[in-house]
């Protein structure tokens, strides 16, 4: 049994945080599903920006699109087609697991991050465009995103809530999911085929907290400096363990039991941004430290390969939770606010995705012009 299969058998779904058209058609994705225990896929504006900017895989479709489409409409057409093919590649897993797994995510425009109504309109459009039951619409984990999540779930649309950094934001998202299920159930609708994940970003938390700890330590005496620096590389895992504890708490009790009796599925925590940014840390740190049942880890290709080579699987997600709580208190005592850091990370994450989305749209405009001039010649 390979290492990735062991991870899967520990109750953690392995999703690939990457998509491009070539891998969908040359057998690469099918091979990786078979060999690497992959059961889903995620995409985001940065991934699509890179895929569309490189090579000529999209040129034929772009050339064939009708005149008059905006760059956004062009993107939705090409991204929608890729996600359709990916959904089809994972459909056997979706069917075999009775809808428990086999999902592919497509994100609404980052410009909608603080617009619940706009998110709802775009999510409905993407849901209809792809037209696959194993699609998940990615919605940012803002207050507006939580509002949209409740309404989308009530309509029977699968949702991946992304860019979650704080447990407070996560609590809001859990409530939105449960409320959406309740709204649908109270209206007489079925809830047994609705799926959702809550994407908690991991490595970026350490990157930000470690930076703050370094800056703080530089201002302190040597003895105190050592104590401060000893906190580095621990915040991200602690934060995720507290999120998992919240997940277990909220998906129990009378409120959840009523929904579960009607067939509701858990909104699984998904660990995103799990590649290690600091070369001083083990390259599979954010996989090995967050293993547990009813979770998803979406990994970039390099992290999948690394875990297949030397990753170790044991249940870690609910081990030393009190140590995680103590770590957060120790950070606060040192003068580092986890709440402030995660709020900043959300702002930066939204800005980064917006930048990638803007670059993607501009790149599509340039490519359309190049293809038009080539055709005219």
CA–CA separation, 317 and 204 (whole Å)? 18
Computed over its alpha carbons, how large is the radius of gyration of the chain?
Answer: 21
* Contact indicator for 236, 203 with CB cutoff of 8 Å: yes
CA–CA separation, 168 and 173 (whole Å)? 9
CA–CA separation, 339 and 64 (whole Å)? 48
Angstrom CA distances, 97 to 42, 183, 193, 212, 339, stand at 19, 26, 12, 44, 37
* Contact indicator for 335, 228 with CB cutoff of 8 Å: no
Phi, psi dihedral angles at 83 (to 5 degrees):
-70, -35
Phi, psi dihedral angles at 174 (to 5 degrees):
-60, -45
User: Which residues, 6+ apart, have CB-to-CB distance to 222 below 8 Å?
Assistant: none
Cα 318 versus chain centre, distance: 21
Angstrom CA distances, 114 to 53, 108, 137, 143, 347, stand at 28, 12, 16, 7, 11
Q: Considering 138, 232, 241, 367, which one is annotated as catalytic? A: 138
Residue 198 forms beta bridges with which residues? 161, 269
Residue 234 appears among annotated catalytic residues: no
Report the catalytic residues: 138
């Amino acid at each position: 049994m390979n290492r990735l299969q062991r991870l899967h058998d520990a109750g953690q779904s392995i999703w690939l945080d990457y998509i491009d058209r070539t891998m969908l058609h040359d057998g690469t994705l099918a091979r990786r599903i078979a060999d690497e225990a992959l059961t889903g896929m995620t995409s985001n504006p940065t991934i699509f920006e890179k895929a569309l900017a490189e090579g000529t895989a999209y040129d034929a479709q772009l050339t064939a699109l009708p005149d008059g489409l905006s760059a956004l409409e062009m993107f939705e057409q090409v991204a929608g087609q890729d996600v359709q093919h990916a959904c089809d590649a994972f459909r056997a897993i979706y069917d075999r697991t009775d809808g428990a797994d086999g999902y592919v995510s497509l994100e609404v425009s980052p410009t909608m991050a603080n617009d619940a109504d706009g998110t709802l309109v775009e999510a409905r459009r993407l849901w209809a465009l792809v037209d696959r039951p194993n699609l998940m619409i990615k919605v940012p984990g803002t207050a507006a995103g939580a509002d949209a999540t409740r309404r989308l779930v009530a309509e029977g649309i699968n949702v991946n809530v992304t860019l979650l950094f704080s447990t407070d934001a996560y609590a809001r998202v859990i409530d939105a999911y449960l409320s959406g299920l309740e709204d649908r159930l109270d209206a007489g609708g079925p809830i047994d085929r609705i799926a959702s994940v809550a994407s908690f970003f991991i490595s970026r938390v350490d990157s930000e907290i470690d930076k703050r700890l370094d800056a703080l330590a530089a201002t302190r005496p040597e003895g105190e400096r050592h104590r401060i620096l000893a906190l580095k590389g621990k915040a991200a895992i602690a934060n995720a363990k507290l999120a998992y504890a919240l997940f277990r708490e909220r998906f129990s009790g009378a409120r959840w039991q009523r929904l579960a009796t009607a067939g509701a599925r858990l909104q699984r925590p998904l660990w995103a941004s799990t590649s290690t940014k600091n070369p001083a840390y083990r390259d599979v740190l954010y996989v090995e430290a967050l293993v547990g049942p009813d979770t998803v880890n979406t990994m970039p290709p390099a992290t999948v390969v690394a875990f297949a080579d030397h990753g170790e699987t044991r249940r870690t997600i609910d081990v030393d939770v009190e140590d995680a709580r103590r770590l957060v208190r120790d950070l606060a005592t040192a003068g580092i606010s986890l709440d402030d850091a995660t709020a900043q990370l959300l702002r930066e994450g939204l800005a980064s995705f917006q930048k990638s989305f803007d670059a993607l749209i501009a790149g599509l405009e340039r490519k359309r012009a190049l293809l038009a001039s080539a055709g005219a010649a």
